[in-house]
Structure 1
Amino acid sequence: MTRATPIPDTVTVRVPFRVVKRGGRKEIRLPDGATHSRRTDSTLVKALARAFRWKRMMESGEFATISELAEREGIAPSYMTRVLRLTLLAPDIVEAMLDGRQGPEVTVARVLEPFPSRWQDQFTSFRLAA
């Protein structure tokens, strides 16, 4: 455009995207190769916070068993053990999740599934750079 070219009143921009459900909410997914800023997954952050809080409560001696703590929190012990397992994640993975740098495939449902105990294997499992 040159200075003599008039500026149009409207401009149409087409951006290919699709809407996907993630963690019970809808999210816009851009095509591969498109740059976009990461957003922190609040559900994932909440699960991490709960895990470390519960771990601290267990280590302090406030509760003797997971069953006792689960009863106090009003949740199933099996769910609590799955969430507590998040405290075994590599610190760099936890930091990536808190910063929103995890991939779109890393959801609460995914991290509550069994994952490798070795930190290096966790990076591979969650497709994160070590």
Structure 2
Amino acid sequence: MTRWAPIPETVTLHVPFRIVKRGGRKEMQLPHGAVQPCKADSTLLKALARAFRWKRMLESGEFATIAELAEREGIAPSYMTRVLRLTLLAPDIIETILDGKQGPEVTLARVLEPNSLKWNEQLSDIGVERNASALPHSRQ
């Protein structure tokens, strides 16, 4: 625009996106290839925090069994067992989730599914990409 050019009254901006549900919330998802800001998934973060807290409580002897702890927490022992499995995730996957770089395909439901105990196999089981931008300390 030049100094004397008229200012338009209306400007139309087209931003392609779609609305997806994640963890019971609606979220805007940009098209593939667009630069998307890193955003930590609060549902995943809460589950990770609970898993490590429960593990610490069991290992310290504060509770003798998962059933005893589950009763105190007011949840089903089967759910607690599934959440406790998160403590077996590869450190790179946990760090990726904490940094919010896990991608939209990595959901709580997906990480709660039974996964391999081998860390390098977990990457493909869960859907975390193996590359330098996704994993800070990638292990082969």
Q: TM-score, normalised by structure 1?
A: 0.94
Aligned residues: 130
Map 1:1-130; keep pairs closer than 5 Å: 1-125=1-125, 126-129=127-130, 130=138
Q: Which amino acid in the other structure matches residue 85 of structure 2?
A: R
Q: Distance in 2 between matches of 1:19 and 1:64?
A: 44
Cα-Cα RMSD: 1.2
Unaligned runs of 5+ residues in structure 2 are 131-137
Unaligned runs of 5+ residues in structure 1 are none
Q: Offset at 1:45?
A: 0.2
Q: Distance in 1 between matches of 2:77 and 2:119?
A: 25
- Percent of paired sites with the same residue: 72
User: What SS is found at the alignment partner of 1:39?
Assistant: coil
Q: Which amino acid in the other structure matches residue 91 of structure 2?
A: P
1:73-127, CA deviations, whole angstroms, 9 ceiling, x for partnerless residues?
A: 0100000000000000011110110110001011111111111111111112223
1:11-40, CA deviations, whole angstroms, 9 ceiling, x for partnerless residues?
A: 111111111111111111111111110211
User: What SS is found at the alignment partner of 1:7?
Assistant: coil
User: What SS is found at the alignment partner of 1:27?
Assistant: strand
Q: Distance in 2 between matches of 1:49 and 1:75?
A: 16
Name which of structure 1's ranges 7-16 and 19-28 shifts more when overlaid on structure 2: 7-16
User: What SS is found at the alignment partner of 2:114?
Assistant: coil
2:16 and 2:30 in contact (8 A); partners too? yes
Q: Which amino acid in the other structure matches residue 6 of structure 2?
A: P
Q: Distance in 2 between matches of 1:108 and 1:7?
A: 49
2:96 and 2:102 in contact (8 A); partners too? yes
